[in-house]
């Protein structure tokens, strides 16, 4: 595949996924619900006094909605990283064979 075709395919994929992201953003109401929740949580933090984000005794403080999703996030990140390494090694082997 020549370079211009590669860039064309990459640009098309980028446009498709940007469009899907925008459609999802609009379908969920945009940033307004998240902005309201963020403002409420910031106000509660200011009222309660809060604390430092990193405490060596406790680790990193995570926001409430994502506390239960950390294991899933790390596992998806691990799978994607492993897939990237496998694809990189596969492409390297193909290049060594002269294909």
More confident residue, 98 or 66: 98
Percent of the chain having pLDDT more than 90?
A: 28
pLDDT (0 to 100) of residue 78:
94
Do 45 and 66 belong together in one domain? no
- Residue 42 and residue 76 in one domain: no
Q: Does residue 42 lie within any of the structural domains? A: yes
Would 54 be classed as within a structural domain?
Answer: no
Q: Nearest-CA neighbor of 33 among 42, 43, 25?
A: 25
Count the domains in the chain: 2
Domain for residue 55, yes or no? no
Token couple for 62: 């995570």
Of 84 and 73, the structure prediction assigns the larger pLDDT to 84
> 41 with 8, same domain?
yes
Which domain, by its residues, includes 24? Answer: 1-49
User: Please, what is the average pLDDT of the chain?
Assistant: 79
For the whole model, what pTM was predicted?
0.38
């Amino acid at each position: 595949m020549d370079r211009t075709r590669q860039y064309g395919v990459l640009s098309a994929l980028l446009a498709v996924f940007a469009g899907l992201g925008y459609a999802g953003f609009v379908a969920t109401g945009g940033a307004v619900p998240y902005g309201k929740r963020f403002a409420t949580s910031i106000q509660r933090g200011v009222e309660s006094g809060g604390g430092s984000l990193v405490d060596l005794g406790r680790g990193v403080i995570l926001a409430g909605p994502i506390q239960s999703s950390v294991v899933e996030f790390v596992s998806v990140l691990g799978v994607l990283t492993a897939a990237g390494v496998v694809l990189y090694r596969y492409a390297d082997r193909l290049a060594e064979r002269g294909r």
